[in-house]
């Protein structure tokens, strides 16, 4: 005789597995197809490719233009993230802990990029920076400036959540009573404890910037060709090469994610359950 | 001049005076408690001593040094927080060593001092554990050791036991007292728990609305409350006004005073009029409206013609006839009948 409770449970389990499989399939099939296309000789009128080859990857990695584009993307994303952390983290720390009245204002400012479409931002920036005292239009600097604004919400939300979850104000007070000045307390106590949150913010920001196209294309375009602009140009000429670029891009981002999550997990394991963990921050960065 | 002198301290938040000309003095090695309900200003005063809350007026002197306007790091005080505030990224050893590292002490010296502290708080073997791997009681001991290792001039304890359960709380408060006595550490303890305050303090300062209502030894505070607030806060005192006592079957009420307080355990209760005692005092008649078992104490609510009187006796099996509805006689020795001031 079958147990009705067990039958219901097993039904629920199958339903769960079914839904998960469908979602995974939706996510993975396009990626697999892209990968397959990037290693196929010809794939036009058949269900499966005619043959397999690594020729596209060979061509891609021997193309100097692609390597430079990847390098530029890395450089511009990394420099922006570093500048953003160096400016935003201390600023958010000071506002959250010592000037909570200003937090509302800071929040409105950092959320502005969500309200402005990329095209509008780009046109405005070009107008301001193409002439006058700061004529940086078409250079890497205008891109870094624009990217700084793009990632502000992510850095803000993640840092603020981390500060809240570690009860930063009280840790600062404890450190100060123990003889540390404000700067030392920040460096030795606050910074190591919000590091997992900052790691997540950096990764998220980096991957957003690495995949950014609108601003890069409008602000610098061909004069400072990043990987997304290169990919866009390639799309019009060669499908196999574009697939190879997309897949390479996916692998790079995946590796970065894996690396930073590992660092984040290692740190958070050592810390108090109430301190910032990547999971805590992931929820918050969507702002 | 006392070791710690706090004179006329004023602190205002959003036009509300949270500390209103507070003055107190503490001798070296003394354990004093700031006792009061939430919002009475006790934690604000403690934080002002630590330098975490700047004050508007007044002066704070410790060991003959004026520390009123010094930053926290230069005050040479230790503080234990209610939520421990241990550094999550550091081990027990690193947490305790933090203050000494800030003083740039020699590594060997740090190791020696920290090891000594770890053995004092009996956490040997836990040096390399992180705070989240410790129980609440252990975390609080680490917080205590972290403050003590710097040998501060004054130790400030901000409700350090309130996050712990009752059993650990009692053990830890005795441990804190033992360590404090051994190190002869001048200590200011903040709590809202009167039992805790009475159990550990040399002297208690009872605070209300940003002022000191009364101060004295636990014995003085408990047996001779000066105001309605202290009587209500410190125990289960019966507090009556003269009007309330008018036209009741009560004899011997003193002529002076408008408000009176009597400890429940100072009232003799008997089913017979001549068994209430032979001394001079106040005698009342009523009946038991409720009897409650509180472990080793029996609590009786006596109705004296509408006036409620609480009486506590030891829970002895030999007492007979003290059941709800029984007529009883109450006797209060004159020395236990306290005239108190009305509180605002």
Q: What is the DSSP string of B253-281?
A: --SS-SEEEE-GGG-EEESSGGGS-SSSE
Instruction: Determine the pLDDT at residue A277.
Output: 34
Q: Has residue A279 got a pLDDT over 50?
A: no
Q: Answer whether A181 touches B (CB < 8 Å).
A: yes
Question: What interface predicted TM-score (ipTM) does this complex get?
Answer: 0.84
pLDDT one-digit tens code per residue, B110-120: 999 999 999 98
Q: Give the residue with greater pLDDT, B59 vs A213.
A: B59
Q: Largest Cα–Cα distance of chain A, in whole Å?
A: 85
Instruction: Determine the pLDDT at residue A286.
Output: 31
Q: Has residue B192 got a pLDDT over 70?
A: yes
Residues of chain B with C-beta less than 8 angstroms from the C-beta of A167: 83, 85
Pairing of strands B186-191, B31-35: parallel
Residues of chain A with C-beta less than 8 angstroms from the C-beta of B73: 176-181
Q: Give the residue with greater pLDDT, A258 vs A260.
A: A258
B236, two tokens:
């289960």
Q: Has residue B219 got a pLDDT over 80?
A: yes
Q: Answer whether B62 touches A (CB < 8 Å).
A: no
pLDDT one-digit tens code per residue, B285-334: 899 999 999 999 999 999 999 999 999 999 887 667 788 989 999 999 88
Instruction: Determine the pLDDT at residue A241.
Output: 86
Q: Answer whether B88 touches A (CB < 8 Å).
A: yes
Instruction: Determine the pLDDT at residue A153.
Output: 92
Instruction: Determine the pLDDT at residue A90.
Output: 94
Q: In sequence order, what are the residues at sequence separation of 6 or more whose Cβ sits closer than 8 angstroms to the Cβ of residue B192? A: B35, B36, B37, B38, B42, B159, B162
A43, two tokens:
């794939």
pLDDT one-digit tens code per residue, A88-107: 999 999 999 999 999 999 99
Least confident range from A23-32, A232-241, B39-48, B82-91: namely A232-241
As a whole number, mean pLDDT of residues A17-22 equals 94
Instruction: Determine the pLDDT at residue A284.
Output: 35
Q: Has residue A280 got a pLDDT over 50?
A: no
Q: Where are the domains of chain A?
A: 1-53, 57-279
As a whole number, mean pLDDT of residues B170-179 equals 89
CB B343 within 8 A of CB B206: no
Residues of chain A with C-beta less than 8 angstroms from the C-beta of B130: 270-272
CB B58 within 8 A of CB B6: yes
Instruction: Determine the pLDDT at residue A220.
Output: 82
Least confident range from A268-277, B26-35, B70-79: namely A268-277
pLDDT band at residue A285 using 50, 70 and 90 as cut-offs:
very low
Q: In sequence order, what are the residues at sequence separation of 6 or more whose Cβ sits closer than 8 angstroms to the Cβ of residue A71? A: none
Q: In sequence order, what are the residues at sequence separation of 6 or more whose Cβ sits closer than 8 angstroms to the Cβ of residue B338? A: B224, B225, B231, B260, B261, B262
pLDDT band at residue A221 using 50, 70 and 90 as cut-offs:
confident
CB B282 within 8 A of CB B268: no
Percent of chain B with pLDDT over 90: 67
Q: In sequence order, what are the residues at sequence separation of 6 or more whose Cβ sits closer than 8 angstroms to the Cβ of residue A137? A: A125, A126, A129, A130, A219
Mark yes or no for CB contact A171/B87 under 8 Å.
Answer: yes
pLDDT one-digit tens code per residue, A137-192: 778 888 899 899 999 999 999 999 999 999 999 999 999 999 999 999 999 999 99
At CB < 8 A and 24+ separation, what contacts does B37-41 make?
Answer: B37/B192, B37/B208, B37/B233, B38/B192, B40/B207, B40/B208, B40/B209, B40/B210, B41/B11, B41/B207, B41/B209, B41/B210, B41/B211
- Find tokens 């605002």 and name the residue: B344
Q: Answer whether B226 touches A (CB < 8 Å).
A: no
Q: Answer whether A273 touches B (CB < 8 Å).
A: yes
Instruction: Determine the pLDDT at residue A12.
Output: 84
How far is it, in rounded angstroms, from Cα B293 to Cα B289? 14
A149, two tokens:
């604004």
Q: Answer whether B73 touches A (CB < 8 Å).
A: yes
How far is it, in rounded angstroms, from Cα B248 to Cα A183? 69
Interface test with A, best of B83, B85, B129 (most A CBs within 10 A): B85
3-state DSSP helix/strand/coil percent for chain B, to nearest 5?
Answer: 30, 35, 35
- Cα dihedral across residues B67, B73, B74, B77: positive or negative: positive
How far is it, in rounded angstroms, from Cα B306 to Cα B248? 9
How far is it, in rounded angstroms, from Cα A112 to Cα A128? 18
pLDDT one-digit tens code per residue, B238-267: 999 998 888 888 888 888 888 999 999 999
Instruction: Determine the pLDDT at residue B319.
Output: 66
CB B80 within 8 A of CB B163: no
Q: Has residue A40 got a pLDDT over 50?
A: yes
A265, two tokens:
């997990």
CA distance B294 to chain A (A): 38
Q: Give the residue with greater pLDDT, B283 vs B36.
A: B36
CATH no. of A57-279: 1.10.3720.10
Interface test with A, best of B83, B88, B152 (most A CBs within 10 A): B88
């Amino acid at each position: 005789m079958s147990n009705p409770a067990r039958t219901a449970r097993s039904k629920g389990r199958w339903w769960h597995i079914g839904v998960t499989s469908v979602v995974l399939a939706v996510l993975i099939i396009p990626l697999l197809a892209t990968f397959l296309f990037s290693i196929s000789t010809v794939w036009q009128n058949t269900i499966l490719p005619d043959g397999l080859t690594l020729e596209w990857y060979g061509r891609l990695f021997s193309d100097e233009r692609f390597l430079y584009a990847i390098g530029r993307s890395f450089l511009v994303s990394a420099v922006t993230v570093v500048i953003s952390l160096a400016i935003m983290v201390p600023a958010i720390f000071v506002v959250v802990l010592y000037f909570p009245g200003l937090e509302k204002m800071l929040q409105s400012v950092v959320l502005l990029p969500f309200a402005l479409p990329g095209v509008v931002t780009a046109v405005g920036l070009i107008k301001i920076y193409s002439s006058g005292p700061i004529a940086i239009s078409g250079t890497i600097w205008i891109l870094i400036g624009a990217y700084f604004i793009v990632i502000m919400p992510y850095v803000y939300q993640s840092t603020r959540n981390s500060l809240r979850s570690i009860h930063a104000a009280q840790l600062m007070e404890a450190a100060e009573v123990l003889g540390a000045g404000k700067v030392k307390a920040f460096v030795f106590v606050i910074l190591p404890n919000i590091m997992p949150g900052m790691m997540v913010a950096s990764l998220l920001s980096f991957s957003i910037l690495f995949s950014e196209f609108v601003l890069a294309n409008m602000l610098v375009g061909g004069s400072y060709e990043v990987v997304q602009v290169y990919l866009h140009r390639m799309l019009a000429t060669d499908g196999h090469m574009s697939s190879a670029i997309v897949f390479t891009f996916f692998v790079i981002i995946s590796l970065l994610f894996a690396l930073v999550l590992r660092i984040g997990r290692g740190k958070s394991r050592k810390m108090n359950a109430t301190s910032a963990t990547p999971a805590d921050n992931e929820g918050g960065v969507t702002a | 001049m006392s070791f710690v002198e706090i004179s006329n301290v004023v602190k205002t938040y959003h036009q509300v005076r949270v500390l209103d000309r507070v003055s107190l003095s503490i001798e070296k090695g003394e354990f004093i408690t700031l006792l009061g309900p939430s919002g009475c200003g006790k934690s604000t005063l403690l934080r002002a001593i630590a330098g975490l809350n700047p004050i508007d007026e007044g002066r704070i002197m410790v060991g003959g040094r004026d520390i009123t306007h010094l930053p926290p790091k230069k005050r040479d005080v230790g503080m234990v927080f209610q939520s421990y505030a241990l550094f999550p990224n550091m081990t027990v050893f690193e947490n305790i060593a933090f203050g000494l590292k800030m003083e740039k002490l020699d590594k060997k010296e740090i190791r020696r001092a920290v090891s000594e502290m770890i053995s004092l708080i009996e956490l040997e073997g836990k040096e390399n554990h992180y705070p989240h791997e410790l129980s609440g009681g252990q975390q609080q001991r680490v917080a205590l050791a972290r403050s003590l290792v710097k040998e501060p001039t004054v130790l400030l304890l901000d409700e350090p036991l309130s996050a712990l359960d009752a059993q650990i709380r009692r053990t830890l408060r005795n441990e804190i007292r033992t360590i404090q006595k051994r190190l002869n550490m001048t200590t200011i303890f903040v709590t809202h728990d009167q039992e805790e305050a009475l159990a550990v303090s040399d002297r208690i300062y009872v605070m209300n609305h940003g002022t000191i209502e009364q101060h004295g030894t636990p014995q003085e505070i408990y047996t001779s409350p000066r105001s309605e607030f202290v009587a209500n806060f410190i125990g289960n005192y019966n507090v009556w006004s003269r009007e309330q006592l008018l036209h009741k079957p009560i004899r011997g009420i003193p002529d002076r005073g408008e408000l009176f307080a009597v400890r429940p355990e100072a009232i003799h209760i008997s089913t017979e009029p001549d068994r209430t005692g032979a001394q001079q005092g106040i005698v009342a008649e009523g009946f038991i409206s409720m009897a409650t078992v509180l472990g080793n104490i029996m609590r009786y609510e006596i109705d004296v013609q509408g006036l409620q009187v609480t009486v506590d006796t030891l829970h002895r099996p030999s007492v007979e006839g003290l059941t709800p509805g029984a007529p009883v006689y109450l006797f209060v020795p004159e020395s236990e009948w306290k005239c108190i001031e009305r509180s605002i």
